[in-house]
Amino acid sequence: MNKTICLTGIVLGSTAVILGAFGAHGLEKLVDANAIQTFETGVKYQMYHALLLLVLGSMKQLPEASKKLIFYFVLAGICCFSFSIYLLATNSLTAFDFKAIGLVTPLGGTLLIIAWSIFGYRVYKHFD
């Protein structure tokens, strides 16, 4: 599981860099400045949580079951939060109105908060 967690962190970190470059250079002529700023928020949160996964996968002190639970909450949170933000920020470029999925963003944020809470509790419980 540690390998999966770390590899997922690496993939999410790599795609955050790619999406960040795309947001900074590819979107500047396609969407307004507010949309680019919104897009960058998704990139930042994706990168923060990619780094969290790298830390989580490297920790020997936490039981595998705890890591797995945190991993799934982070992964679901990133998918819901960051990816919905990417879609909402580029909404004007598509025929589909992604505002219809706007409730997915706060759900993703809630999942990330839950992941951090579980992580904090498990670290507190398993560290001396």
Question: How does pLDDT run across 104-120, given as a tens digit for each residue?
Answer: 999 999 999 999 999 99
User: What pLDDT is recorded for position 128?
Assistant: 67
Residue written as token pair 């900074």: 24
User: What's the pLDDT score for residue 77?
Assistant: 97
**8-61, pLDDT tens digit by residue?**
999 999 999 999 999 888 888 898 888 899 999 999 999 999 999 999 999 998
CA distances (Å), 13 to each of 2, 3, 31, 33, 119, in order?
A: 16, 15, 24, 24, 20
**Residue 97 pLDDT class (50, 70, 90 cuts):** confident
- 77-93: average pLDDT: 91
Establish how many alpha carbons lie within 13 A of residue 93's alpha carbon, considering only the half-sphere containing its beta carbon.
Answer: 14
**Phi and psi torsions of 103, nearest 5°:** -75, -15
Rounded CA-CA distance 99/89 in Å is: 10
Reference 86, options 36, 128, 21; nearest CA is 36
Does the pLDDT at position 7 exceed 90?
yes
Residue with tokens 């933000």, as numbered in its chain: 85
Residue 50 belongs to domain spanning: 2-126
Number of domains in the chain: 1
pLDDT at 79: 95
Q: Do 66 and 58 contact (CB within 8 A), yes or no?
A: no
Dihedral sign, Cα of residue 23, residue 13, residue 50, residue 98: positive
Contact between 109 and 43 (Cβ < 8 Å): no
